Amino acid sequence: MSRSLRTDVSKDEAGADMWTGIPLFPDSASTMAGRVDALYFFLVAVSVFFSVLIAGLIVFYAVKYRRRSPDSVGASFHGGMALELTWTVVPFFITIVIFVWGASVFFAMSRPPDETLNIYVVGKQWMWKFQHLDGQREINELHVPVGRPVKLIMTSEDVIHDVFVPAFRVKADVVPGRYTHLWFQPTKPGRYHLFCAEYCGTRHSGMTGEVIVMDPSEYQTWLSGGAPEGSLASAGARLFQDLACNTCHRPDAQGRGPVLEGLFGKTVTLQSGETITVDEAYVRESILNPSAKVTAGFQPIMPTFQGLVTEEQLLELVEYVKSLKSLPQPQGPQRSSRVGVESPVPQPGSRAGVEMQTR
Ligand code: HEC
Ligand SMILES: [Cu+2]
Do 224 and 236 belong together in one domain?
no
Do 91 and 206 belong together in one domain?
yes
Q: What is the pLDDT of residue 355?
A: 38
Q: What is the pLDDT of residue 350?
A: 39
Q: Which residue has the higher pLDDT, 2 or 299?
A: 299
Peptide bond into 87 cis (omega under 30): no
The whole-angstrom separation of Cα 302 and Cα 324 is 20
Convert the pLDDT of each residue in 241-292 to its tens digit: 889 898 888 888 788 888 888 889 889 899 888 999 999 999 999 999 998 8
Q: What is the pLDDT of residue 12?
A: 40
86-90, 145-149, 157-161, 242-246, range with the lowest pLDDT: 242-246
Q: What is the pLDDT of residue 336?
A: 38
Convert the pLDDT of each residue in 17-59 to its tens digit: 444 455 677 888 999 999 999 999 999 999 999 999 999 999 9
The whole-angstrom separation of Cα 123 and Cα 164 is 12
* 122 touches 131 (CB < 8 A): yes
Closest atom, ligand 1, to C-alpha of 305: 38
Task: For Cα atoms 292, 238, 277, give the angle at the middle one, nearest 5 degrees.
Answer: 35
Q: What is the pLDDT of residue 3?
A: 42
Domain at 281, CATH number = 1.10.760.10
Indicate which residue's Cα is closest to atom 8 of ligand 1: 302
Do 237 and 259 belong together in one domain?
yes
Q: What is the pLDDT of residue 21?
A: 55
Q: Is 60 part of a structural domain of the chain? A: no
Does the CA dihedral 177-183-186-192 come out positive or negative?
negative
Do 279 and 292 belong together in one domain?
yes
Do 214 and 236 belong together in one domain?
no
Q: Please state the rounded mean pLDDT for residues 94-103.
A: 97
Give Cβ neighbours of residue 192 (< 8 Å, ≥ 6 apart).
Answer: 27, 29, 165, 166, 167, 168, 210, 211, 212, 213
Q: Is 146 part of a structural domain of the chain? A: yes
Do 33 and 161 belong together in one domain?
yes
- From 245, 250, 326, the mutation candidate for ligand 1 (largest count of ligand atoms within 8 A of CB) is 245
Nearest to 39 by CA among 105, 113, 119: 105
Task: For Cα atoms 86, 90, 91, give the angle at the middle one, nearest 5 degrees.
Answer: 120
Do 210 and 237 belong together in one domain?
no
Do 309 and 241 belong together in one domain?
yes
> Would you say the pTM of this structure is higher than 0.95?
no
| Residue 324 Cβ < 6 Å to ligand 1 | no
Taking all residues of the chain, what is their mean pLDDT, rounded to a whole number? 83
Q: What is the pLDDT of residue 77?
A: 80
Q: Is 348 part of a structural domain of the chain? A: no
Do 31 and 156 belong together in one domain?
yes
Q: What is the pLDDT of residue 25?
A: 79
Q: What is the pLDDT of residue 134?
A: 84
Q: Which amino acid is at 96?
A: I
The whole-angstrom separation of Cα 189 and Cα 331 is 48
The whole-angstrom separation of Cα 249 and Cα 231 is 21
Q: Give kind and range of the element (H or E) at residue 99.
A: helix 81-110
Q: Is 196 part of a structural domain of the chain? A: yes
Do 160 and 247 belong together in one domain?
no
Q: How many CA atoms lie within 13 A of 200 on its CB side?
A: 28
Do 193 and 120 belong together in one domain?
yes
Does the CA dihedral 278-280-285-286 come out positive or negative?
positive
The whole-angstrom separation of Cα 115 and Cα 151 is 9
pLDDT at 123 over 70: yes
158-162, 236-240, 291-295, 349-353, range with the lowest pLDDT: 349-353
| Residue 48 Cβ < 6 Å to ligand 1 | no
Q: How many CA atoms lie within 13 A of 13 on its CB side?
A: 9
Q: Is 193 part of a structural domain of the chain? A: yes
The whole domain housing 258 covers 232-326
Q: Which amino acid is at 272?
A: S
Please report which ligand is nearest the Cα atom of 162: 2
Q: Is 160 part of a structural domain of the chain? A: yes
Counts for the chain of helices (H) and strands (E), in that order: 8, 12
Domain at 117, CATH number = 2.60.40.420
Q: Give kind and range of the element (H or E) at residue 161.
A: strand 161-165
pLDDT at 65 over 60: yes
- Which of 228, 261, 289 represents a domain boundary (last residue)? 228
Convert the pLDDT of each residue in 170-213 to its tens digit: 999 999 989 999 999 999 999 999 999 999 999 999 999 999 99
The whole-angstrom separation of Cα 141 and Cα 210 is 5
Total number of domains in the chain: 2
- Which of 228, 252, 279 represents a domain boundary (last residue)? 228
| Residue 54 Cβ < 6 Å to ligand 1 | no
- Which of 178, 202, 228 represents a domain boundary (last residue)? 228
Q: Is 52 part of a structural domain of the chain? A: no
Q: Is 65 part of a structural domain of the chain? A: no
| Residue 300 Cβ < 6 Å to ligand 1 | yes
Q: What is the pLDDT of residue 357?
A: 36
**Percent of the chain surpassing pLDDT 70:** 83
Residue 61 sits at φ, ψ, to 5 deg, of -75, -30
3-17, 194-208, 211-225, 284-298, range with the lowest pLDDT: 3-17
Q: What is the pLDDT of residue 1?
A: 37
Do 137 and 205 belong together in one domain?
yes
